[in-house]
Structure 1
Amino acid sequence: MKGTRDYHDIIGGTLMIAGGAWFSLYALNYNLGTLRRMGPAYFPLGIGVLVVLFGLLLVLPALRRPGGVPRPELRPFLAICAAVLAFALAVERAGLVPATLVLTALAAWAERAPDLRLTAILGLALSARAVLVFTQGLGIPIPAIRWSL
């Protein structure tokens, strides 16, 4: 259905503005510091302000642009929520690689007909990258695979 405004971008931009504002306000609970000696709130505040600005850049043109009215779909929302929850529950018990594979498999069901071959390749690539970045690069003590469940 066509509308007089682009509601897809209005909703997305408004969510970005709300998220960036919350992030910025929450960062103010910490010491901001100075430009020469930045405190723990400096970077999160800056990122939050940038997200608010990008949200405004998305919303303002959409107010004068015709577009469609979004039709909510429950399947992608539930698939992504289930994927994140499954990852959170599996990472401690099974390790980073199995948790990432489960996350990728469940998130793929957000599409109507996911390509299983591409999902498997993506899961393996994300698992390898996660191990390299988090355990090797950052030194976070998460086992790649926990053999004793």
Structure 2
Amino acid sequence: MNKVFLQFLGYFAIIFAADQLIKWLFLQGFRWQSDFIDLVLVYNKGVAFSMLAFLEGNLKYLQIALITLLAIYLIKQKELLKSHTAAFGLILGSGCSNIFDRFIHPGVVDYIFWHKWFEFAVFNFADIMINLGVAIILLQTLIQKKAK
């Protein structure tokens, strides 16, 4: 195995494990409330903002297909994985963790509920890491284009 793939697997494994550990805490009963944010267990049967919830149990298979396609693309486009190793590790580790939830729980384990000034969808650590991974790719791409 090459160095890039091992680094990718490291990011993937750390994010997957951290997300599952945090979710385990909430499944054991951890709760916390404040004026801004509540940390409370919710099962999301859809994707972002509960979209596609009507697909019910079939949603996990659609997500597996999408992640598989992305993984195949990254294997073929080695340079893309090389230039965004950490970001893709965050995205795929988080995505797989959320899909894993669908197989062992009634839905994705979400727990962060922002409600100060406006009510936002309930989300989790994996969702934050997916968004962080996308932001890293965008920033790296902008920086690389400016450097050229």
| TM over 0.5, shorter chain | no
Greater relative CO, 1 or 2 (CA 8 Å, sep 6+): 2
Kindly indicate which of the two structures has a greater share of residues assigned to strand. Answer: 2
The TM-score with structure 1 as length reference comes to: 0.30
Larger-gyration structure (1/2): 1
The TM-score with structure 2 as length reference comes to: 0.30
